Chains A and B, each alone.
Chain A
Amino acid sequence: MTQSFTRTLGMRTILILVFAFLYIPIAVLVALSFNEGGLPTAWSGFSLKWYASLAHNSAILSAALNTLIVALVSTAIATLLGTLLAIGVEMRRQYGRGLEALIFAPMIIPDIVLAIALLSFFSMLNLTMGLHTIILAHVVFNLAFVCSVVRARLKSFDWSIVEASADLGASALTTFRRVTLPVIAPAVIAGALLAFTLSVDEFIIAFFTAGAGRASTTLPMQIYAMIRFGITPEINALATIVMAVSITALTLSQRLNRGMIGQ
């Protein structure tokens, strides 16, 4: 009795401490973004003025637009390619080790290595770098993540219904649209949301493949520059918005694809 009581107490203490460690830094940031004075030294009243000043910062607005373009285009391409790859691999059940490694590699390769590899590659081709090269780069890891989410869903897919559909005279396209797609749709959307979030947050690869000049600065690049410059209340507000967006997208992705992370 006493032993199990101390045990429960111990477990609760661990949980409280760990969650405090994980959430206090973020909570401080969010709280400061609403602090009128903007400084961590004193609370001088609730205010939205740092959010308002973001709306007038043209560098941040153009960076946000760039990020949105990169994230939307690379997500669209990666979702299409990643889904087709997942179907191809799972339908033929060819799990060659080389193929597995090729699909797995973009998820574990250190960012800095992929970043310098793409920089070397693009400059050797004399390619002018900009948003398009960031998009090309982001599709690499995004398609791997979409593929792994969709594959997880396809593991329990009964391929005989695809054959049945073909036997009943449906074309390959009709079969895909009416049979396969409805089954994998939640995973495809979950994968797309994951890819979108990864792309919105990605910094190092974008930094190396954006080329010179400010025209193709993305939001994380802008945030990095601001952080290096010093702490400003504007970063707190911007950070709060960016966190809210990615956490919303990921929560949606999780709901659509229940258990993907828990497994």
Chain B
Amino acid sequence: MAPALVWLAALMVVPCALVLALAFFRRGIYGGIDYTFTLENFGLVFDPLYAGIFLKSARIAGTATLIAVVIGYGAAYAIAAAPRRWQPVFLFFAVLPFWSNYLIRTYAWIVLLNREGLITQLLRWFGYTGEPPSMLYTEGAVIAGLVYNYLPFVILACYAPLSRLNSELAEASRDLGASAATTFRRVILPLTVPGIAAGAVFVFVLSIGNFVTPALLGGGRFQMIGNLVYDQFLTANDWPFGAALAMALIAIMLLVLMAQAMAANRASGQTAETRDGANG
């Protein structure tokens, strides 16, 4: 037990503490680090230029999360409605792409979306003769890539509560005169909120700090927070500012995780109320 904890302390806790400390120093004149205390790196995070990139990252991650949750919930619902013996098979194949290389899954979208890619070919085949549409190197391409890469996890997270759902509950709701839509909104959806929240948090957290997808599908000058951090460390050589950006990223992540914990608590409270109400 001890060797593993030492490993984690030495190669995760200490380096992360170091980055936190780095964020309070000044950048040296010729790159490098000038060890005088300052808060200006954190001030710079709120500079309109960089705050704008944070907002754009949050918007892209939020859109990807919304789309992934809608598709993923639908897929999980359909899997949970399938015959019992088929459910594990469907689930396995829904998750399988998640375990193949991330770079390769992203590259597959370059093949689909580039100007002479499969989608352009299909359009031509249907008689389209105009200029090939520019789909690659757009915000839409980045969102598509993020949804594609993280969808399996949403399916997995939403399937768990959906499969445990008691079908008698929905029947009872319908017997009492509720429409299918009301039953879904008032019975099924509240009971599956924890799964949705877990899936949404996962997609949002991994999307907002993503570096590879914007770099490959967004084109050279497309920047999200991850790319900004990358630049500070590998090209601009301003490590203290890069460290402050990384800490801001961690702060956002912790906020989202706390919101999820609260949503899950509220949902379980409501479920208990519904149950007690039904029994009493």
Contact = CB atoms under 8 A, between A and B. Distances in A.
Nearest to B230: A112
Interface residues of A, number: 75
B100 A246 contact: yes
Interface of B: 1-5, 7-9, 11-16, 18-19, 22, 71, 74-75, 77-79, 81-82, 88, 90-97, 99-105, 107-112, 114, 116-118, 121, 148, 151-152, 155-156, 160, 205-206, 209, 211-212, 215-216, 226, 229-230, 233-234, 239, 242-243, 246, 249-250, 253
B27 to A, nearest CB: 13
A129 interface: no
27 contacts: A11-B77, A12-B78, A18-B71, A23-B97, A40-B118, A82-B4, A105-B8, A110-B205, A110-B226, A110-B253, A112-B230, A112-B246, A121-B11, A136-B11, A137-B11, A140-B11, A143-B4, A201-B100, A220-B101, A223-B101, A224-B212, A228-B215, A231-B114, A235-B107, A243-B100, A243-B104, A261-B92
A131 to B, nearest CB: 15
A237 to B, nearest CB: 12
A168 interface: no
Chain B's interface: helix, strand, loop or mixed, by majority?
helix
Contact of B91 (A28, A121, A262): A262
A28 B148 contact: no
A106 interface: yes
Given A41-B121, A139-B7, A228-B215, 8 more contacts: A19-B93, A22-B93, A84-B4, A85-B5, A110-B250, A116-B19, A136-B11, A201-B103
Interface in A3-41: 7, 11-12, 14-15, 18-19, 21-23, 25-26, 28-29, 32, 39-41
A41 B7 contact: no
A187 interface: no
Contact of A15 (B79, B99, B151): B79
Interface in A118-174: 118-121, 124, 136-137, 139-140, 143-144, 147
A66 interface: no
A22 B12 contact: no
A116 to B, nearest CB: 5
Contact of B12 (A114, A116, A208): A114
Contacts of B107: 29, 223, 227, 235, 239
B97 A89 contact: no
A28 B209 contact: no
A28 B114 contact: no
B102 A203 contact: yes
Given A26-B97, A26-B108, A84-B3, A116 B121 contact: no
A261 B116 CA distance: 38
B18 A124 contact: yes
B5 A22 contact: no
A53 to B, nearest CB: 18
A121 B10 CA distance: 10
Q: Please indicate which of the listed interface residues A15, A25, A106 has the most CB atoms of chain B within 10 Å of its own CB.
A: A25
Contacts of B249: 110, 112-113
B82 A208 contact: no
A259 B11 CA distance: 31
A118 B15 contact: yes
Contacts of B4: 81-82, 84-85, 88, 143, 147
Given A18-B75, A113-B250, A25 B103 contact: no
B88 A40 contact: no
A197 to B, nearest CB: 6
Interface in A220-263: 220, 223-224, 227-228, 231, 235-236, 239, 242-243, 246-247, 250-251, 254, 261-263
